[in-house]
Structure formats: structure tokens, C-alpha cells
Chain A
Amino acid sequence: MQQLTRLVGVSALALSSALAMTASASDTSLEARKRWHQAIYQGYQSLETEAEDFSQAASTYCSDPTPDARQAVEQDWLAAFLAWQQVRFVDFGPVEHNNLSWQFQFWPDPKNIVARKAGYLLKSDDQIDKDLIKASGVAVQGFPMTEYLLFDEPLNSGANALPTAKTCRLLTAVAHHIETNSEQLSHQWRSLRDHYLANDQYRDSTIRAGMAALEILEERRLAQPMGLRGTGKRSAYAADAWRSGTSLRTIEATIRGLKQHFLPGLSVLLTEAEQSQLARQIAAQFDEVLDNFPTLHRPIDALLSDDKAFAELQGLYMDVSQLATLVNDQAASTLGVVRGFNSSDGD
């Protein structure tokens, strides 16, 4: 009998410690999600502010197109675009609604649809206003279109160059669309809070989002233009934001965004899993990547066409690869999150 009691006692103990572990893991997940929700909200608020400034600067420039106003709108475009890069990794939640993410940045664009759509809109007799932008596709609705209008060399040396009235109307209407979308995103993210905190599945969604962003950064935003994949040819056109010469700045902003809005929640989970050493390694690797800047704040075509500069780009690529390995292999497998062959397929 005594033995039985002992047995029962032992198993009850085992059970309660298993429950305690589960409870503690789920507390940690909640804590991580609280941090993520707050950090991403801050990122979205910053996007909202910058997008508002950009939209205002576009209107100011188009009503009085002085060189200073032109410089201001270009600077505000970049500030808003970089604010987007900081939260671009979030691929779930309200940014999924209505393809908001694609509306902000339609990319990649191997068929140059942005330029084709702009050409079509500038030629057509349609009244360019917010309704037309709303009804147009994602290639019209975001940062790449405004980048095209502000920075594309053939456009800006031709008859439709800014501040031509119609081009200005397109610029201000798209800037306004970005502003509206930013407000909506920030507002809807705040409304998601209760669901996000109540639903443990968002833990994995958030980790996967960070992983996917690093993979896209390594493979598509760096390896592809560097000619390390596919055809083997270096091509600036495969990069983000080549028209404005800011491809590398967008990469820096994405890394900063991940460090600021993704890493804190991830570190909470790693520390709970007794992997604080790994958490520290990841934080240090983020800094390694960021050490490449501002040295690499140069247009990507300049970095691709010069072998010495290319070597610096390779240095960045190596640093990003190591970061991706730490997060996508080591941290993800510690936390039991894997991006699968089928789970990321979509059919």
C-alpha cells in the first residue's frame, strides 16, 4: 500500500511538473507575443507617420515644385519606404488582408510591370484620382510606383517628367493610397491584439515570418542580384529599389527592423528554452550585419560592377547567411518551428 501511495505520489508529481512546464512554456509564449505585438505596433506607427509625411511632401511639391520641395519629397519617400522595410517581415495578420503587403511593395517585378502600368496610366484619358488607384492592381499602389515616378531616369528626362500635371496627380494619388493603407494597417494591428495574445498559433506564425524574411533577404535580395543563383549573372534589376539606388539601404532597414521588432520576442523564447547563449549569438550577428553600413550605402549597380566593391557585398552576404543559419536552423529547430517543403507551398 505504501508502495502504491509512493507510486501514485510520484506519478502525481510527474504530472504536476509536466503541467507546470506546459504552463510556463505557454506563459513564455504569451510574454513573447506581448513583446512582438508591441514592437510591431511601434513599427507600424512609424510607417504611418512617415507615410503621412511623404504624402504631404508630394502634395507640397506638386503645388509648388521648387528644387527644395523635390529634395524633400525624395527624402520623405525614402524615410517612408525604409519604415516599411522595417516591418516588411510581418507576413500575417492585417497585412494579408487585401494583399496589403503587395500593395506596399510589389516585388520582384521581372516583367517591369510598374513601368508598363505607369506608361499606360499616364497615356490614358482616365482621371487619375484615389478611386482609380484603389481599382488598379498592386503594381500601381505602392512604393515601387512612387519610386518610378520620382527616380526613373528615362521617365524623368522625357515629356512626362515630374512635375508634369498628370505625373504629379499619379504621384500624389499613390502617396495618398500608401498613407491610407498605413493608417489602416496600424489600426487593424492594434485591433488584432486580443486575438494575437489569445492564440498561441501566432507564436509560430511570427517566428516563421522572421525566418522567411531572412531567407528572402539572403536568397532573393542578395544572392539573386549578385549572380549567385539562377543564371549566374550579376543584375541590379533583380534587386529591390534599384531605381533610387537604395537597395542596400532597404536591406539595412529590414535587418534593423528584425532586430528591433522580431529579436526581442525571439530572445524571450530562446532564454526560456535555456538557449540564452544562442540568443546572444544572434543579437551579436545582427550587429555584425549592421557593421557593413553605412559603408555599403551605395547603389547596387556600382557594387556589382566593381570587383573590389563586390568583395564588400560578399562580406555582407556572408554575414547575412550566418544570421540566417543561426535563426532559421538553430533557433527555429530549438523552438520546433520549421518552414516545410509543403507547408510553405500554398496549394
Chain B
Amino acid sequence: MHLSRRQLLKAGMAGGLSATLFGCNLLPLKAGYAPEHFTGAVGLSDGGFGVSAINRHGQPLWQSPVDTRCHSGCNRPGGAQVLFFERRPGSSFYVLDQSSGARLHHVKAATGEHFVGHGVFSLDGRWLYATASRYAQGEGIVAVYDADDAYRRVDTFELAGIGPHQLTLHPNGETLVIGLGGILTHPDYDRIKLNLDTMQPALVLMNRRSGNILGRFHPSHHQQSIRHVDVNPTGEVYAAYQYQGPLHQAPPLLARLQDGRLQEIRFDDATQSALANYIASVTAHPENDLVAATSPVGGTAVVFEGRSGRLVSRASIPDCAGIQALAGGDFLVSSGRGKLVRLGTDNKSREIANLPVHWDHHLV
């Protein structure tokens, strides 16, 4: 059932969905697209799934039902549409009206392919690039769609690698930055990791028009699976890992692309341990040098200086995952327990809202 804002507010008054804002009555603006909206995939208390948007008052704007659990999405430049992708292995993505949540398109994956949860638009908002896999062959691809033509599939770029995950667009408008996890899976075998001994994770740079690969950078250990990536407006590229080796080893989980290599960032032992070899999201702030990363497994969020790698803040937030950069320089972190927590340079986390939903991995 699609819920309008009015219905949601009514439900909220009856003790249901409205957010509880603590300490302040207005969230800071979001940096970037659609600054008034915070949108994320959610798990609902009845076991169903949706995509939910809230405004700066912490009030739900809309909640749109989806068939299965979604993972992440992207705002279409121009502000009218927001997209969400089904969780890996995803068979479709949803195009929703940014202001009402109404479903505009439901686009299925091509035969033999599945989505992995992420997509990004060209700066003009016309071309959608979605990471995907041809599962029988285990080949990672970038699928290209024409948003002006009802999301018609127009092109396919080969990644020459396995397990692409998040992708984003470099501020030059031409280069796709892609996390290639390196892990082979197959829908017949659920999420079993089929090649842990031979995986070749990489950060891939690709020309968005030709699909030519401009660079491929490997982490220091072949089991540091690169899943998430971000880039700030000055072009600093960050990658976040999920380490597939034993828990008692705690290798670096974050890296900055510098001088043609992944310059890995390792924090103190206690922080490394608190991150539990798993990063779910990484976000480079568009207004400063700060980068935030979350580990739901370790229940820990960190903020660090991008260039130096110096740890600035560390907060314990159970099941935290989504991150949104806020205007003014701080970050907003969402959790599977419905919390929205503000985190910045002062190393004090402030819980600013609580909704009766499970926020999924990413906020857009």
C-alpha cells in the first residue's frame, strides 16, 4: 500500500510512523541533490519492505512499497525522481516520484543479469549507470539506461572482473568510479562466496561514454573486498573494504586513491577492532576534507580526515549503516534500529530522530 504524507502523519499521530526529534526541531540541510529530502530503503515492522523519505522536520514524506528488500539508490539530477535498487541479487529497480513516492517505473534486469544494489546518473540526468552481473558467467558489468526514454537499456560496459558493487561519478562528469568486490556468487547458491582464494578485488575507473577502463587499482590483500566508494567535489576518491579473512586479523578497511595506488588508512587497534572488518558505507563530505564510514557489524561509525587519515570521531551506533553529508560539514548516520544520528568533528554523536523502521544500508 502506498502511503501519502497525510496518511503517514495520521498514522504518526496515532503513535506510528512519525519521527521523534531530539534536542532540535530541524535537521540541517542535506548537502547535494534534493537537500530537503532524506530517502532510504527500509524494512518494516510487519516484515515487509519499502522506500521511505523524511523531511528536515523528521516527518515522513512518503513511504513507497516494494516487492523485496532494496539496498541503495540515487537521485536523478533535476530533482524529480529518486531510484532504488533491489538488494543483491536484485531483479529490478524502482523509479519513484521524489515528492510523492509514487512509482513511475519498475525496470526489470535483463535476462541472465542481476543488479547489485547501486546506480548513478550522468550529471545531466539522462543516463543511468547501474552495476550488475551476468550470473551464469560471473561477469561484472555496468548496464546503461536512457532515463529520457522510459529507462530503455542502451549499452553494456564490461568490467573484466567479478562482483561490482557501488559506483559513483567523478566530478569531472566523465569517469565512473566503481568498487569491484571480486567475490563470485551465483543465484543458485544464495550468497555463497565461491572464490575466496582467488578473488581479485579492485577499484576501477571507467569512461562513462566509451566504457573504456582507465585504471584498475588493487588493495594490499586479495581478500579486502572493495564494495563501497565515494569521491568528493575536488576529486579525492575513497574506497571501503570488507575483509574476508579471519576476525582476529584487522587489516585496513579504508583507502584513498593517491599517486596511482590505494593508500590504505589504518586506525588504532581499538578502532580497527570496533569496525569488525566490515564497512557498509563510505561518504566523503562535499564541503570539507572529512570522510565518514560505518560498520553495522561492529556497531561503529567513524569520521576521519581524508588526506591525513587521522581519526576525528568514533561513535558506537548499533547496526549503523547509511550516511548522508549535511550542509555545514557534519554527517547524518542512519541505523537498522530506526535512528538518525548526527556526527561531526566534535566527536559527540547526537541522536536526533528515531523512526519505527529499519533503515537499510544507504541514505540518498
Enumerate chain A interface residues (CB-CB to B < 8 A). 92-93, 96-99, 102, 106, 111, 113, 137-139, 192, 195-196, 198-199, 201-202, 205, 338, 340-343, 345-347
Contact = CB atoms under 8 A, between A and B. Distances in A.
B248 A198 contact: yes
Interface stretch (B91-99, B100-108, B316-324): B316-324
A67 B248 CA distance: 49
B81 to A, nearest CB: 23
B248 A342 contact: no
B189 A340 contact: no
Closest 4 CB pairs of A and B: A341-B336, A340-B319, A342-B296, A341-B358
14 contacts: A92-B247, A113-B188, A201-B273, A202-B247, A340-B337, A342-B358, A342-B359, A342-B360, A343-B297, A345-B280, A345-B360, A345-B361, A347-B116, A347-B227
Nearest to B276: A201
Contacts of B360: 341-342, 345
Given A111-B188, A343-B299, A199 B247 contact: yes
Nearest to A208: B297
Interface string B103-127: 0000000000000110000000000
Contact of B361 (A98, A106, A195, A342): A342
Contacts of B276: 201
B18 interface: no
A99 B88 contact: no
B193 interface: yes
Interface string B290-323: 0000001101000000000000000000111100
B192 interface: yes
A93 B249 CA distance: 12
Contacts of B116: 347
Nearest to A229: B47
A137 B189 contact: yes
A131 B129 CA distance: 42
B363 to A, nearest CB: 12
A99 B248 contact: no
B71 A347 contact: yes
B318 A340 contact: yes
B194 interface: yes
A50 B188 CA distance: 30
Interface of B is mostly: loop
A139 B190 CA distance: 12
Interface of B: 43, 71, 87-88, 116-117, 165, 188-189, 191-194, 196-197, 227, 246-248, 273, 276, 280, 296-297, 299, 318-321, 335-337, 358-361
B320 A342 contact: yes
B69 to A, nearest CB: 9
A138 B189 CA distance: 9
B322 to A, nearest CB: 8
A198 to B, nearest CB: 7
Contacts of B189: 102, 106, 113, 137-139
Contacts of A96: 246
A232 B222 CA distance: 44
A289 to B, nearest CB: 25
A99 B227 contact: no
B193 A342 contact: no
Most buried by B among A137, A138, A341: A341
Nearest to B280: A342
B68 to A, nearest CB: 13
A347 B117 contact: yes
A345 B246 CA distance: 18
A98 to B, nearest CB: 7
B51 to A, nearest CB: 15
Contacts of A202: 247-248
A343 B88 contact: no
A92 B244 CA distance: 11
B336 A343 contact: yes
Contact of A99 (B193, B246, B336): B193
B171 to A, nearest CB: 26
B196 A98 contact: yes
B354 to A, nearest CB: 14
Contact of A347 (B87, B273, B358, B359): B87
Contact of B196 (A99, A192, A198, A340): A99
Contacts of B273: 201
A111 B276 CA distance: 34
A303 B361 CA distance: 41
Nearest to B295: A343
Contact of B321 (A111, A138, A342): A342
A229 B319 CA distance: 26
A279 B144 CA distance: 56
Contact of A345 (B165, B296, B337): B296
A202 B248 CA distance: 9
A341 B117 CA distance: 16
B86 to A, nearest CB: 11
B308 to A, nearest CB: 27
